[in-house]
A and B are shown apart, each in its own frame.
Chain A
Amino acid sequence: MDKNGSILSVNDLKTYFQTEDGMVKAVDGISFKLEKGETLGIVGESGSGKSVTNLSVMRLIPEPPGKIVGGEIIFDGVDVRKLSIDEVRKIRGRRIAMIFQDPMTSLNPFLKISTQLMEVTRLHLGHTKEQAYQHAIKMLKTVGIPDPESRINNYPHEFSGGMRQRVMIAMALSCDPELLIADEPTTALDVTIQAQILELIKDLKARMGTSVILITHDLGVVAGMTEKIIVMYAGKVFEQARTKELFASPANPYTKGLLKSVPDPAHEQGKELYQIPGLPPDVAHLPVGCPFQERCYRVEDICRREFPPFVQINEGHHSLCHFAKEVYAESNATTLEEQI
């Protein structure tokens, strides 16, 4: 932990990809801080740079074509970018663990669950075979796999999607990491299982005191889980705020659009669901000015000319918009319905 008490602080991170189409700035100058024991949500559309941010934190960006070109990633007082690959490997899985989107493909189909669970602890905690086996059973029990003693010898294809995700969580948490990165952990699961998995992550987080970064494009998921939210768009942080504040009074037109696009079964019966017009921009060829200009409901001339400033609304609430203060005031004055 560094002097400010944050477990992870990312400063002006830039990860670019060299493609035939030119330089893609997948993540372009992102900064955030995660305090110990806190949960941070990262929200955004596909291609907004959520996953790349977290792969950068673990130094898992494939090089080439990708490269972290600038910024700092301070994990527990150490800049991950300055570590050798061997030192990074000691952090991966041991101190920062990751859960992936699709549990169907993130387990090795040819290895038993036991082999895969034991590998991590034998690698990082120096367990013997027997210790690792017992630990694996214990972890399966923790994540709520029934009859772990015999299930441990099964192969991944014998588990359902939800159970595989539980196994992934067991694997991620088996070394008791300080930071857990969950990259869309519920996207590939059906709704009833989603709730269970989120409940499980929440519960384990509370019990083990792990800090969590939850990446998702589902605002409903982050609402009940996180303390802070970052909204990403085209490789930039568009808005950053405490969860309650972000939902109550967003200060960015994009966040508003996102919030309005969440289906609400209680209201809007028979009404067509709102969607933000247009498509996310091609990150290789961003327009001059604000990347969101084409889709924004209150676009003005200045948005097409100048890149918007990162405005501070209040302590811990920032928004990337020329009219951040106005949007914020609107949000406080009226409901979402009347604005867009």
Chain B
Amino acid sequence: MAEEVRQLKGTSLWRDAWKRLLKNRLSVIGLILLVFMIIAVTIGPFIILKTTGFTADYVPSQVDEGDLVNSFPPSFQHPMGTDEAGRDLLARVLQGGRISLLVGIISTIVSLIVGVSYGAIAGYFGGRIDNIMMRIVDVFYAIPYILIVIVLLSVFGGPNAPDFITALSERIGGAGNQGMSQIFLLFFALGLVSWLTMARVVRGQVLSLKNEEFVLAARASGVSTFGIIFRHLVPNVLGPVIVYATLTVPSVMLTEAFLSFLGLGVQAPYASWGSLAADGIKNISIFPWQLIFPSVTMALTLFSLNFLGDGLRDALDPQTRKF
């Protein structure tokens, strides 16, 4: 009886993939760690505020103005120690994690939307349209993307932010918030350069799918071109797209860390894992925890994202699976 019910319920390809994913131990660990990290950075700062009263910007009052050293090693009160201004490092790492993960996820979503539509349109129409669109991608590829990001950030960074980004960040972060507009610029700049590979992946898939009979069947039943691309073809390419997206998140986060480390990315009063590491490296020989904790947290997150991405690839594309 139970067997019958299960049979009738319909196993989608997603459910199958999920089962395969759960068999892969490393990606399950990655998934758990990632979920834990997301929960930690979302509600962690509130818990710290409620229990100890520390925030990312809070300088405890017992820190004496005349005291030259405000960096305290990890203790029960400060599990990760404090930074050189005496602020609780755990609170700062969690706060920074918010920004880092946000940059990673939002830039990936930007690249997903742009890349998938661009690639699907190029692949479906083919011919001259495809040729022109993909040559544009090639041109973008030829420009070192770090250079584009650096140029974008230094030209439009700080007070020079373009109007639409300022408007967007003011709506969300409040007026006159320059640090916030810098972060939005980062989303935009990283998203802008990371859609290229996505577009190529999707185009290749669509190119081979568009000659399938179900596309002809959909056309024969009067579905519009838009409907065929986005309702029939895009779901079919989601497998590789998801895999590629999970691998884009860590690479974008790494780029963000790299830029922030150089001082181009997230700026005070906001922090990200990259800028925390940059602060920590100044004191590496005396206060090593200031570098170690942000870096280890970030490394763990990147590991788990990469393991999850690998697991997803095996789960969603059974043909390449190792037995």
Contact = CB atoms under 8 A, between A and B. Distances in A.
A93 B221 contact: yes
A58 B11 contact: no
Contacts of B235: 108, 110-111
Number of chain A interface residues as a range: 35 or more
Interface in B202-242: 212-214, 216-224, 227, 231-232, 235-236, 238
B286 interface: no
Contact of A102 (B12, B213, B221): B213
B13 interface: yes
15 contacts: A60-B216, A60-B219, A64-B127, A93-B221, A100-B217, A100-B220, A105-B214, A108-B232, A109-B236, A119-B227, A120-B221, A155-B11, A155-B13, A158-B11, A168-B217
A107 B213 CA distance: 8
Interface stretch (A8-16, A146-154, A300-308): A146-154
Which secondary structure characterizes the binding site on chain A? loop
B220 A123 contact: no
4 closest A-B pairs by CB: A93-B221, A93-B222, A92-B222, A98-B220
Contact of A171 (B12, B221, B227): B221
Given A106-B213, A108-B235, A111-B235, 12 more contacts: A93-B222, A98-B217, A98-B221, A106-B214, A107-B214, A119-B218, A120-B221, A120-B222, A123-B222, A123-B223, A153-B9, A154-B10
Number of chain B interface residues as a range: 20 to 34
A89 interface: yes
A153 B12 CA distance: 10
B10 A106 contact: no
Contacts of B12: 112, 155
Nearest to B224: A89
Contacts of A124: 222
A63 B127 CA distance: 11
Contacts, number: 84
B178 to A, nearest CB: 45
Contact of A111 (B8, B222, B232): B232
Interface string A170-214: 011000000000000000000000000000000000000000000
A94 B212 contact: no
A147 to B, nearest CB: 7
A108 B217 CA distance: 9
A109 B237 CA distance: 11
A91 interface: yes
Nearest to B217: A106
Nearest to B215: A108
Contacts of B231: 111, 119
B221 A97 contact: yes
Interface in B247-281: none
Interface in A304-320: none
Interface string A56-75: 00101000100000000000
A90 interface: yes
A110 B13 contact: yes
A155 B236 contact: no
B212 A105 contact: yes
A285 to B, nearest CB: 26
Contacts of B127: 64
A54 to B, nearest CB: 10
A153 B11 CA distance: 10
A101 B12 CA distance: 25
A158 B217 contact: no
